[in-house]
Amino acid sequence: GNSVTQMEGPVTLSEEAFLTINCTYTATGYPSLFWYVQYPGEGLQLLLKATKADDKGSNKGFEATYRKETTSFHLEKGSVQVSDSAVYFCALIGGGSNYKLTFGKGTLLTVNP
Amino acid sequence: DTAVSQTPKYLVTQMGNDKSIKCEQNLGHDTMYWYKQDSKKFLKIMFSYNNKELIINETVPNRFSPKSPDKAHLNLHINSLELGDSAVYFCASSPQVGGRTNEKLFFGSGTQLSVL
């Protein structure tokens, strides 16, 4: 079946530091890949997505590139802000599970001023 | 004009009680979901409905029963609540894009259920 593995948190950074949150996946077929973000006390929101190999998703300064050869979709941001503090979820749809989004376990990011 | 709204936001109840959580979406989406998020933030799908038809039913105790009166509503009823049911429950919906659903989920803000 499909699965998503992302780095365990929590991750604590200072403002303007570089962020990487690793995500790797297992899926049959050609999945679509997503990063969702959950701010404190809120539901999840889609941050970015990529639907085929070598696609780069980007939004709000965050980027992730769909790497089929390494089955990865790492999230990066060059300079984080305090307002980026949240839980980040890597997710995929694919491999016949057309109706089910499979999430990773989430990574808590805290950015200090 | 919240897109996906669920009520109540907080629910505190005693073990053994029966409770319901309501969800409504005004986005015109065909598919709705219930997810459970535990204290470690792990998110697990429970149910999904597409146009009022149940399409995903994960391994969930049959004390949990979803009901979809129309495609804009998906309610969750829980019988005989147990301590382990304490979690945050999220409702979500998604459109169908190019014959594929789930391209983007829109989540409600969650219902924090505490069973004492």
CA closest to A32 among chain B residues: B103
User: Does A83 have pLDDT greater than 60?
Assistant: yes
Residue B96 confidence (pLDDT) above 90: no
Interface mutation vs chain A, best among B41, B45, B54, B57, most A CBs within 10 Å: B41
DSSP state of B40: T
The whole-angstrom separation of Cα B72 and Cα B51 is 9
B111 touches chain A (CB under 8 A): no
CA distances from B89 to A54, A109, B22, B102 (A): 35, 22, 11, 19
How many pairs of residues across A and B have Cβ atoms under 8 Å apart?
A: 53
Each residue's pLDDT tens digit, B78-87: 999 999 999 9
In the predicted model, is pLDDT for residue B98 greater than 60?
Answer: no
Identify all chain A residues contacting B31, using CB atoms and an 8 Å cutoff.
99
pLDDT at position A53 is: 92
The one-letter amino acid code at B80 reads: S
Tokens 């319901």 found at: B20
Nearest Cβ partner for B43 among A49, A89, A93:
A89
Whose tokens are 């990865």? That residue is A72
CA B104: distance to chain centroid?
16
Distance from CA of B89 to the nearest CA of A (A): 10
Supply the pLDDT for residue B1: 62
The distance of A18 to chain B (nearest Cα, Å) reads 24
- Quote the mean pLDDT of chain A: 92
pLDDT tens-digit readout, A20-54: 999 999 988 788 999 999 999 889 999 999 988 99
pLDDT digits (tens, 9 = 90+) for B34-81: 999 998 888 988 998 888 888 888 878 999 999 999 989 999 999 999
Separation CA B52–CA B49 (nearest Å): 6
* Angstrom distance (rounded) from CA B106 to CA B66: 19
Q: Which of A66, A67, A1, A55 is nearest to A28 (CA)?
A: A1
Query: Contact, A88 vs A62, CB < 8 A?
Result: no
Sign of torsion over alpha carbons B110, B25, A103, A77: negative
